[in-house]
């Protein structure tokens, strides 16, 4: 298998894993947010705001961490391309 074919296979695998992970995170996030919205708690609004903020911060962390790891690998272009896809 050529290097290009290997990188294409790895990239496809990473994209599949990314899509699956994104779907799982979205299911859990939406369920958690929905449960909070359905709550009669007076703290529900604050909890929803915290959940939304946490998700936004996680996305920033994930992107930064991916860039950090790809920089450490210097030349691992497949990982670098994957990182740009999660932005």
pLDDT at residue 87 tops 70: no
pLDDT at residue 78 tops 70: no
Say what the pLDDT of residue 24 is. 96
Q: How many domains does the chain have?
A: 1
What does the mean pLDDT of the chain come to? 84
Query: 83 is written with which tokens?
Result: 């990182």
Report the pLDDT averaged over residues 28-43: 95
- Secondary structure of the chain in the HEC alphabet? CCHHHHHHHHHHHHHHHHHHHHHHHHHHHHHHHHHHHHCCCCCHHHHHHHHHHHHHHHHHHHHHHHHHHHHHHCCCHHHHHHHHHCC
Domain coverage including residue 13? 3-85
Q: In this predicted model, which residue has the larger pLDDT, 7 or 34?
A: 34
pLDDT at residue 36 tops 80: yes
């Amino acid at each position: 298998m050529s290097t290009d074919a290997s990188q294409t296979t790895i990239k496809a695998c990473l994209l599949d894993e990314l899509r699956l992970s994104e779907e799982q995170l979205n299911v859990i996030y939406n369920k958690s947010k929905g449960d909070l919205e359905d709550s009669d708690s007076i703290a529900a609004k604050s909890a929803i705001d915290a959940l939304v903020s946490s998700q936004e911060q996680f996305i920033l962390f994930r992107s930064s961490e991916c860039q950090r790891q790809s920089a450490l690998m210097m030349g691992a272009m497949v990982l670098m391309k994957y990182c740009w896809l999660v932005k």
